[in-house]
Structure 1
Amino acid sequence: MTRIDFHTNLPDKLNYACRLARKAWAVKGRVVLLARDRAEAAELDAALWTLADTDFLPHAMAGDALAAQSPLLVSYAGDPGFGAALPHHDMLINLGREIPDGFERFGRVFEIISTDEDDAAAGRQRYLAYKKNSYPLTHFVAGKS
């Protein structure tokens, strides 16, 4: 069953998602980063290139010809490249405000929640929906020990 990890109270979701992807890639993890929309996916793509001067995070857009060789994929809600055609389903980092279609294909889902109240409220609704369906949940609150 898919494990769901909530990471909340984050001031910069994109930066956090990039650092989480870097951490997963360092241990040979394969990750799909799911943005809210095409514009946020473009921001995420740029952020992965510029995360740090010394880091290179190999990634491609879902549906790209290089997707099968890329350990990190960027997609967005409604992207035709997101879905069963994805070359891997290890981890999903969700930056959106809804439960992604097909999330259950992934071994692990990270729900990234900002400090914005609307985003936090949407995160609480997703948490309750996952809990209602008995998914294993963990919760990490940024800034707390």
Structure 2
Amino acid sequence: MSRVTFYLLQQQSAQAVKQFACRLTDKAWRNGMPVHIHTDNDIQCETLDRLLWEWREDSFLPHQIITSKTSGAPVTLGIEKPESLHDNTLLINLSSRIPDFYKHFVRTCEIVDQSPGPVEVLRDKFRAYIADGIQPETHRIQIAG
């Protein structure tokens, strides 16, 4: 069964969500875990793609936006389910909805800031996971800034 973790950022910033997604991706990749970052749309995907190149001067995250071609990168980004999933793949869901394929991943991470809109989306997602038989765990995160 897939494990779901909600990271509750204490900031009110969409940028903090993206930065934390990069941090999670970096940690997972360095520990040998493939990552797929699911987004709502192509613009969000391209924005995150640029951020993964630039987010730290001393770090490189080998990533690729997935298309209809099969990706070989250990970190993928996209609006659809990746064609091939490695064992132990982490899903970072930055979409406003839960993808119907989330159970194909060993772990799903949801990241939310404390703005009113994202908090309501968080509550809806949390209830949906519970209705689907998943008991999500939560972690409050304070990012030094």
What is the 5 A alignment of 1:58-137? 58-63=62-67, 65=69, 67-68=71-72, 70-76=73-79, 82-83=80-81, 85-88=83-86, 90-137=89-136
Matched with 2:4 is 4
Question: Letter of the aligned partner of 1:74 in structure 2?
Answer: L
The number of aligned residues is: 138
**TM-score between the two structures when normalised by the length of structure 2:** 0.87
Separation (CA, whole Å) in 2 of partners of 1:61 and 1:48: 11
Unpaired stretches in structure 1, ≥5 consecutive residues:
77-81
Q: Equivalent residue of 1:131, what SS?
A: helix
Identity between Structure 1 and Structure 2 (%):
25
Instruction: Tell me how far 1:84 sits from its aligned partner.
Output: 5.8
Q: Equivalent residue of 2:96, what SS?
A: coil
Separation (CA, whole Å) in 2 of partners of 1:71 and 1:55: 15
Q: Equivalent residue of 1:122, what SS?
A: helix
**TM-score between the two structures when normalised by the length of structure 1:** 0.87
- Give the stretch that moved more between structures: 9-18 or 98-107: 9-18
Structure 1 residue 32 corresponds to structure 2 residue 31: no
Q: Equivalent residue of 1:17, what SS?
A: helix
Unpaired stretches in structure 2, ≥5 consecutive residues:
none
Q: 1:20 to 1:113 in 2, by over 3 A?
A: same
Instruction: Tell me how far 1:137 sits from its aligned partner.
Output: 1.4
Instruction: Tell me how far 1:136 sits from its aligned partner.
Output: 3.3
Separation (CA, whole Å) in 1 of partners of 2:44 and 2:81: 18
Q: 1:85 to 1:65 in 2, by over 3 A?
A: closer
Separation (CA, whole Å) in 1 of partners of 2:50 and 2:125: 28
Deviations 1:72-129 (A, max 9, x none): 00112xxxxx226134361100111111121111110001112221111011111011
